[in-house]
C-alpha cells in the first residue's frame, strides 16, 4: 500500500484539515495471583489514531480502517499477554502493537487512567484477596507515539486537597465591579490535575521505576501544597511545580491544573453571631481556574 501524506488535501469543496479516530473508555480489571495473594488493577484506556484515512471520509472506503472494536479486543488480548502495571509500559506495548503492520497510522495517542484499589485491613493486616477502592483520585499515563519516538507523560487527576491555614489573597486589582474582600486567611481547596514529562535522555525513571518516580512526585506535590505559604493559587501551583523540577532531575516539564473549589465564609451577622473563619459553604460553581506549564530552566 502506498501511503499518501496526510496534510490538507484539496479535493472538491472541502479540505480535511485534521482528523483522528479511536476507542475510548476500554475498561479492564486484571487479577494476578501468586501463592494465594492476589493483585488487582483497574484501568481505562483511550486509543486515538492519526494517519492516512482520508479515503474513508471522502468515499466511505474503509480499507485502511482498523475498527475501534478491534482496538478494544487488542486491549483485552495484550492485557493477557503483558503486564498492565506500570501503565506507562502497557501504553508503550499498545503503541508498538498498532504501529506494526498498520502503515496507514502515523501517530497514536494513548491515555490510560488507573483507579486505585487498596487492600482491606483485617485484624491489622492487609487482606490477600479483598480490596477497597481508595477514592476519586486516578493515576494517569498519556503517550504519543510515532515510528520514530514515543513521548510519555505520567500524572494524576482529581486529587482533592484543602489548606485551612497559610493561604491569603491580597493586593489584587480593584475596579468598579470588585466586591471580593482581601484576606490573609482563607480556605484553599482544589482538585489537582498534574502531568509531567520525563527527559528523553534520562534513565532515571527506568532506574527507579515508573511507580517509584510517580509516588515520589505525587508526595512532593502534596507536601509542598501543605507547607506552602500561599499568596494565590498561581503562587502555590508554581511552587509545587518548581519543587518537582528541583527534586526530580528526570522530569523535564510539568503541567498542572488547579480549579479553585471555593469555600465561602458565611456572613452570620444577620443572625447575631460572629464567624471567626469557622463556618464556610463549599460551592461547585462558578469556579476559579488556574492552569500552567513549567519547564526546567
134-173 residues in contact with a second copy (CB under 8 A) are 134-136, 159-166, 169-173
Per DSSP, the three-state class of 112 is strand
Residues across the chain: 297
The set of cell numbers assigned to 243 is 519543587
Where is 222: in which H helix or E strand?
A: helix 210-227
CA dist 109 → 3, 104, 143, 208, 249 (Å): 20, 15, 6, 25, 26
Backbone phi, then psi, for 161, in 5-degree steps? Answer: -135, 160
Nearer to a second copy, 125 or 148 (CB): 125
Catalytic, 23? Answer yes
Among 6, 42, 103, 107, which residue interacts with a second copy (rule: CB under 8 A)? 42
Which range binds a second copy by CB under 8 A, 20-28, 85-93, 142-150, 201-209?
20-28
Interior angle at CA 257, CA 166 and CA 136, nearest 5: 90
Cell triple for residue 98? Answer: 498498532
Choice between 148 and 297, CB closer to a second copy? 297
- Residue 5 binds a second copy, judged by CB under 8 A: no
Q: Which of 9, 206 has the CB closer to a second copy?
A: 9
Nearest to 70 by CA among 104, 44, 94: 94
Q: Which residues 230-289 are close enough to bind a second copy by CB under 8 A?
A: 230-235, 237-238, 241-242, 245-246, 253, 259-260, 263, 266, 268, 270-273, 275, 277-282, 284-289
Handedness of CA 206, 208, 209, 210 (dihedral sign): negative
Is residue 31 close enough to count as binding a second copy by CB under 8 A?
A: yes
Closer CB to a second copy, residue 56 or residue 204? 56
The C-alpha atoms of residue 27 and residue 172 are separated, in whole angstroms, by: 46
Q: Does 123 bind a second copy (CB under 8 A)?
A: yes
Which is catalytic among the residues 72, 197, 228, 262? Answer: 262
User: Is position 262 annotated as part of the catalytic site?
Assistant: yes
- The interface with a second copy within residues 187-206 (CB under 8 A) comprises 187
| Given the residues 6, 30, 38, 68, the one annotated as active site | 68
Binding marks (x or -) toward a second copy, 52..71, rule CB under 8 A? -x--xxxxxxxxxxxxxxx-
Q: How many CA atoms lie within 13 A of 1 on its CB side?
A: 12
Q: Report the C-alpha gap between 259 and 252 in whole angstroms.
A: 24
**Size of residue set near a second copy by CB under 8 A:** 139
Query: Hey, which residues does 39 pair with through a beta bridge?
Result: 32
- Residue placing its CB nearer to a second copy in the complex, 206 or 268: 268
Q: Is 122 in the site for a second copy (CB under 8 A)?
A: yes
Q: Are 71 and 105 in contact (CB under 8 A)?
A: no
Per the annotation, the verdict on 255 as an active-site residue is no
Quote the least distance from Cβ 252 to a second copy, whole Å: 11
Q: CB under 8 A: which stretch of 79-87, 88-96, 138-146, 148-156 binds a second copy?
A: 79-87
Are 244 and 238 spatial neighbours (Cβ–Cβ below 8 Å)? no
* Cβ-based nearer residue to a second copy, 164 or 206: 164
105 binds a second copy (CB under 8 A): no
What residues are labeled active site?
Answer: 23, 68, 262
Amino acid at each position: 500500500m502506498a501511503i499518501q501524506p496526510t496534510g490538507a488535501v484539496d479535493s472538491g469543496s472541502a479540505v480535511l484539515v485534521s482528523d483522528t479516530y479511536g476507542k475510548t473508555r476500554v475498561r479492564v480489571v486484571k487479577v494476578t495471583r501468586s501463592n494465594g495473594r492476589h493483585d488487582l488493577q483497574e484501568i481505562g484506556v483511550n486509543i486515538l489514531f492519526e494517519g492516512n484515512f482520508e479515503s474513508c471520509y471522502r468515499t466511505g472506503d474503509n480499507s485502511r480502517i482498523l475498527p475501534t472494536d478491534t482496538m478494544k479486543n487488542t486491549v483485552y488480548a495484550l492485557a493477557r499477554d503483558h503486564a498492565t502495571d506500570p501503565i506507562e509500559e502497557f501504553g508503550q506495548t499498545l503503541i508498538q502493537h498498532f504501529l506494526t503492520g498498520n502503515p496507514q497510522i502515523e501517530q497514536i495517542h494513548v491515555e490510560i487512567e488507573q483507579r486505585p484499589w487498596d487492600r482491606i485491613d483485617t485484624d491489622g493486616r492487609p487482606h490477600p484477596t479483598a480490596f477497597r477502592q481508595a477514592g476519586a483520585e486516578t493515576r494517569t499515563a498519556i503517550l504519543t507515539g510515532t515510528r520514530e519516538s514515543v513521548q510519555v507523560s505520567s500524572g494524576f487527576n482529581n486529587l482533592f486537597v484543602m489548606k485551612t491555614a497559610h493561604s491569603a489573597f491580597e493586593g489584587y486589582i480593584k475596579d468598579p465591579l470588585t466586591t471580593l474582600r482581601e484576606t490573609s486567611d482563607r480556605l484553599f481547596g482544589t482538585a489537582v490535575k498534574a502531568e509531567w514529562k520525563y527527559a528523553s535522555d534520562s534513565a532515571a525513571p527506568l532506574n527507579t521505576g515508573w511507580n517509584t518516580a510517580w509516588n515520589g512526585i505525587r508526595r512532593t506535590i502534596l507536601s509542598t501544597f501543605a507547607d506552602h505559604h500561599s499568596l494565590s493559587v498561581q503562587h502555590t501551583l508554581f511552587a509545587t511545580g518548581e519543587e518537582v523540577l528541583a527534586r526530580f532531575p528526570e522530569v523535564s516539564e510539568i503541567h498542572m491544573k488547579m480549579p479553585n473549589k471555593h469555600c465561602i465564609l458565611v456572613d452570620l451577622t444577620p443572625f447575631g453571631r460572629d464567624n471567626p473563619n469557622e463556618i464556610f459553604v463549599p460551592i461547585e460553581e462558578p469556579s476559579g481556574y488556574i492552569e500552567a506549564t513549567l519547564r526546567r530552566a
